[in-house]
Amino acid sequence: MHVFLSPHLDDAVLSCGGLIHQLTHSGQPVLVITVLAGDAPAALPQTELINHLHHKWDVGSSPYEARRKEDIAALQTLDAQWKHMPLLDAPYRVGKNGDALYAKQASLFGDLHPDDPVLTANIDIPAAAEMVYAPMGAGGHVDHLAVNHLAQRLPDALRVVYYEEFPYSSEGDEIRHARREGVDQRYGSAAVQTALRGFPTQMEPELIALSDEDLMAKIDAIRCYRSQLGTFWNNEAEMEAGVRRYARQVAANGAERLWIQGETK
């Protein structure tokens, strides 16, 4: 079984939808565990950030019930299994005094709060897992950094690789800074390079070549996240163009990129 850790109810598909399709359609089981999929608390922290997000998502008074349904629909199109953990998204998490840990938009891309309860959470990885795919933290969102932290604490017996979080990973031009067998290799955008510096080991890229069918399956799955499309794109056509463009930036014929841990720095 291949297990993908997704901070939010869309990250695994946005980042690895092509690979997920490739795996399931070759007969390999895939489980996507969304770590931060719990319902918003009844007593919401009173922040402008929460008001802004609920208005933008436009899915009523139970946003995570609606978002979980979107996620299930997306993963069903890819023939993947799913598990939704009850931990809360960053805007809802509070400290010991009840105050919001991340009250403003800017705080979502700042430092992890030392009292963040996600940092001490446990992820139950099935015994059948052959490979675990975790977010590398490209873009610096605190939820992605928190799940990355949890992934780096998983038992050494598990093989963990890291994926670039699209569309954050498309921030900045692809950087060419290595030559292999006489060919320039693309090593990720500025957002990816920043994330790489946060690992204690050297990281090596591995390209996952995508067929046209893989890429189209990814795009169709992303369409299911209707409440989230407006976060990054103005419409579905712009989303599709962005997905295709970045896949071609990673490799001329279209690919997703993973990062494999090597020797300690």
Top-confidence residue, 175 or 230: 230
Overall fold of domain 2-264:
Rossmann fold (3.40.50)
Of 180, 232, 227, nearest to 207 by C-alpha is 180
Find the distance separating the first CA and the last CA of the chain, reported in whole Å.
Answer: 30
Chain center to CA of 50: 21
- Partner residues linked to 179 by β-bridges: 184
User: Tens digits of per-residue pLDDT, 110-148?
Assistant: 999 999 999 999 999 999 999 999 999 999 999 999 999
Is-contact 192 139, C-beta < 8 A?
no
- Cβ neighbours around 45 below 10 Å, total: 18
pLDDT of residue 181: 60
Q: Is the pLDDT of residue 187 over 80?
A: no
- Crossing angle of helices 212-223/63-77, nearest 10°? 160
Q: Name the pLDDT band for 55 (thresholds 50, 70, 90).
A: confident
What does the block give as tokens for 112? 């992890």
Q: How many residues does the chain have?
A: 265
Confidence of residue 176 (pLDDT cuts 50, 70, 90): low
Residue 162 three-state SS: strand
Q: What is the CA radius of gyration of the chain?
A: 18
The beta strands (E) that lie in 164-200 are given as 176-180, 183-186
Does the pLDDT at position 178 exceed 60? no
- Taking the model in full, what pTM does it have? 0.94
Instruction: Please give the structure tokens belonging to residue 177.
Output: 């800074």
- Kindly state the average pLDDT of the residues 8-34: 98
- The pLDDT assigned to 40 comes to 87
pLDDT at 199 over 80: yes
Largest CA-CA distance found in the chain, in angstroms, rounded: 59
Backbone angles phi, psi at 46, to 5 degrees: -85, 90
